[in-house]
Amino acid sequence: MDEKRTVKTSKMLSRILRHDPGAVGVTLDAAGWVGVDALLAALARHGRPLSRAELDHVVATNNKRRFAYSEDGRSIRASQGHTVEVDLGLPAAAPPDVLFHGTAERTLQYILAEGLRPMSRQDVHLSADTGTAAKVGSRHGRPVVLAVDAAAMARDGHEFRVSANGVWLTGPVPAQYLRRTP
């Protein structure tokens, strides 16, 4: 599978497994899983044939590790980023003292006044490093990285979870926990 097809397939799977499983006629279970065979059959019915080997390649080579197989390898789901209602079943976890959020410069004033909100997603997504946060922010314009005082949030009762691919998830982040990084 060439790089161009790998990226195109990854984007298609993200849309299906995070936002619109009905686009190909599959249903996610309450935890976001769908059977691999059901997914592959649905893709074929919708003119997007994909082999298990190709799916394995996309899952294994995705630099953001957006997808995960179940322990038995029979089901697949997106690791986070859902706009459809799912419960990933991730346990609460103690975050590092500081986490980071990448955004576009044009949204900075609003965020510093109002805080971070999940918007259409279920959770606010945070990174453990500034490099990842900057990459995320650059998708939306000139990037700005915000430091999140995760230690203070946790002390104040906010819950954190970490997805299979290392993305930290939490609810809304009030503005008092945010500061712009240099």
Chain centroid offset of residue 79 CA: 6
**10 and 66 Cβ atoms separated by less than 8 Å:** yes
pLDDT at 20: 97
Kindly report, residue by residue over 18-57, the tens digit of the pLDDT.
Answer: 999 999 999 999 999 999 999 999 999 999 999 999 999 9
Q: Among all chains, which residue has been given the structure tokens 């789901």?
A: 77
The pLDDT, as a whole number, for residue 140 is 85
* pLDDT of the residue at 44: 97
CATH code matching the domain that covers 3-78, chosen among 1.10.357.10, 1.20.140.160, 3.40.50.2300, 1.10.10.970: 1.10.10.970
What residues have CB less than 8 Å from 175, skipping those under 6 apart? Answer: 111, 112, 113, 114, 115
pTM of the entire predicted model: 0.85
Which residue ranges of the chain lie beneath pLDDT 50? none
CATH number for domain 98-180, candidates 3.20.170.30, 3.90.230.10, 1.20.120.1200, 3.40.50.720: 3.20.170.30
CATH 1.10.10.970 domain locations along the chain:
3-78
**Burial of 112 (C-beta count, 10 Å sphere; 0-12/13-18/19+):** middle
The CATH 3.20.170.30 portion of the chain extends over 98-180
